[in-house]
Structure 1
Amino acid sequence: MDELWLSNPTLAYRDWQAREAAGADRRPFSARSIVQHQAMFEHFRRHLVARGTTVANFGADDIEAFWRTANARDHTQTTRVRYVKLLDRLCRQLVFAGVRRDNPAASLLAAVRWPDGEPEPQYLDAAVDRQLQAYLRAPAEDLTILRSRAIVATFLATGVTAAEARSARVGDLHPDGSPPYLFVRAHGPRDARTVHLAAFAVPLLREWLARRQTLPIHGDLLFTLLPDGRPITDMSFGRLVTAALEAIGQTNVEMSPRTLRNTFCRRQLLAGRARDDVSHMLGLTSNRTCDRIAATIADRQAQRL
């Protein structure tokens, strides 16, 4: 039996992904997919810990309970399929390693299928986008509130991913530049890029940067948990976005950094920017995301005719 799966499942999963894990075509997963899979596994592992069970003995009822958690109950069909496939691969590996005797995900795998078409991307329409911007511009004397609004503003003003926001350094933010910008470091398959800050976020991010540089926090991460300076998790980012959207009464969209990234993309397209330019701003090598967002604009325009 591979004891590492019992003593440190996070490390065991990461090691397995790096060395052996592959998709249905037996080709190794891309660097981006590996990062996504590790994050998904961590979400599920923490769910198991909360239920008092482990990767060695969870069952179908634990998987069913996972869909009802705050982080998973709003997952799209596509995301659920990805989770089921991940759990099936995981359980087959655990059976092979002698950690488990069964695969509770196998029956679920037979019942799920990819959606017939891609779901419409989640975004805030232009009016709600402006409403959220106004909320973020409101004075915030409390340090924690200031940090939270600065984080949400960064997603809305630059279109960065959660991973990019989490790894941003103090020296990457330049609110006094001409024009103000955020330098996004290269990571995985994405090249380094510079994203100009939307005007609404500049005063807020300037204030946060000034406050951040006076704090006795170890390291130079732009956004950290206060006061200890640990990196912020994707789950925490999601909670901050949720709180901001709930504060303005908008709860009928996926409340995540991805929705704000899509909103940033849509704002650029509405302003007439070329798809190639917007894709570059998002750190993407293809226009697929921009095309999907652009389709929502075309649909809205057609509905007005």
Structure 2
Amino acid sequence: MDTLWLSHPTLAYRDWQAREAAGADRRPFAARSIVQHQAMFEHFRRHLLARGKSVVAFGADDIEAFWLSPEARTYSQATRMRYVKLLDRLCRHLVFAGVRKDNPAAPLLATERWPDMEPTPQYLDVDDDARLQAFLSLPVNDLAKLRSHAIVATFLATGITAGEARAARIADLVTNARPPYLFVAAHGPRDARTVHLPDFAVPVVRAWLARRKTLPIEGDRLFTLNPDGRPITDMSFGRIVSAVLEAIGETDTELSPRTLRNTFGRRHLMAGRSREEVSRMLGLSSHRTCDRIAATIPVDRPL
């Protein structure tokens, strides 16, 4: 029996992903997919831990309880399907390794389906967007809260992705310019871009930048949770965004950086900016995402 799954499941999963895990075509997963899978596994493992269960002993009732958790209730059909496939792969491996005797995720493959069309983008409506902006404008002294509010304000104010937030450096945030801006470095197919900061975000990001420069943290990453300067994971970004949104009573949408990115794009489309311009602000080469976001705007609103 592979006892590492009992003593240190996070390490066991990471090792399995790196050495053996593969998709339906038996090809190894891409590096980005591996990071996403590890974050999803860790999220589910923490759910099990809260229920007093382990990866070698959970059952169908634990999966059902996971779907009913505050964050999972907002998952799209595609996200649910990704979790089902991940849990099925995991349980099949554990059965093969002699750690489990059953696969409670297998029956779900017959009931869950990939969506027939792209899901409607998740976003905050105008009132909730304004409420979050007002909340983030309030002064904060606690270090952890200041960092969290600055992170959420940056997502909401600039529309950057979690990956772009991870890569941001102290020098990229320029708060003494007129107007203040965040420089987003080129990466992959995306060109470098500069995104101006709206008024609501300036006080909190300026306060964080000043505090960040005084902290004994290695490196020059703008956002980090660790003294050694390691980047923040997708899962940690998700928890930070979720906690802030829950603090203002927002529970009816996906509590994620992507929701804030969509909210940023929708806000600018509703303000009259063109799809081309907003796509550039989001670092996108096509209008597909903006077209989907624009479809959520009432027809009597100008685009």
TM category (shorter chain) comes to: 0.7 to 0.9
| Residue 127 of structure 1, CA deviation | 4.2
Q: Give distance in 2, aligned partners of 1:285 and 1:37.
A: 27
Number of equivalenced pairs: 301
| Residue 283 of structure 1, CA deviation | 4.0
Q: Give distance in 2, aligned partners of 1:48 and 1:122.
A: 27
Q: Give distance in 2, aligned partners of 1:251 and 1:95.
A: 37
Equivalence for 1:301: 299
Q: Give distance in 1, aligned partners of 2:242 and 2:40.
A: 19
SS in 2 for 1:133: helix
The two structures have a TM-score, normalised by structure 1, of 0.81
| Residue 79 of structure 1, CA deviation | 1.7
The two structures have a TM-score, normalised by structure 2, of 0.82
Deviations 1:178-202 (A, max 9, x none): 5533234566x56563341322222
Q: What amino acid does structure 2 have at the position aligned with 1:35?
A: V
Contact between 2:179 and 2:197, CA under 8 Å: does it hold in 1? Answer: no
Task: Classify 1:49/1:246 alpha carbon distance in 2 versus 1 (closer, same or farther; 3 Å).
Answer: closer
Q: Report the more deviating stretch, 260-269 or 141-150.
A: 141-150
Give % identity.
71
1:1-305 matched pairs, under 5 angstroms: 1-177=1-177, 179-185=179-185, 189=188, 191=190, 193-200=192-199, 201-225=201-225, 232=232, 234=234, 236-246=236-246, 248=248, 250-284=250-284, 286-297=286-297, 300-301=298-299
Q: Give distance in 2, aligned partners of 1:227 and 1:4.
A: 28
Task: Classify 1:95/1:252 alpha carbon distance in 2 versus 1 (closer, same or farther; 3 Å).
Answer: closer
Q: Give distance in 2, aligned partners of 1:28 and 1:87.
A: 17
Q: What amino acid does structure 2 have at the position aligned with 1:119?
A: P
Q: Give distance in 1, aligned partners of 2:191 and 2:271.
A: 24
Q: Give distance in 2, aligned partners of 1:106 and 1:251.
A: 30
Deviations 1:121-147 (A, max 9, x none): 121233442343233223334444433
Task: Classify 1:225/1:33 alpha carbon distance in 2 versus 1 (closer, same or farther; 3 Å).
Answer: closer
SS in 1 for 2:182: strand
What are the ranges of 5 or more consecutive residues in structure 1 without an aligned counterpart? none
Q: Give distance in 2, aligned partners of 1:8 and 1:293.
A: 42
Q: Report the more deviating stretch, 67-76 or 270-279.
A: 270-279
SS in 1 for 2:107: helix
Q: Report the more deviating stretch, 229-238 or 105-114.
A: 229-238
Q: How big is the alpha-carbon RMSD for the aligned residues of Structure 1 and Structure 2?
A: 3.3
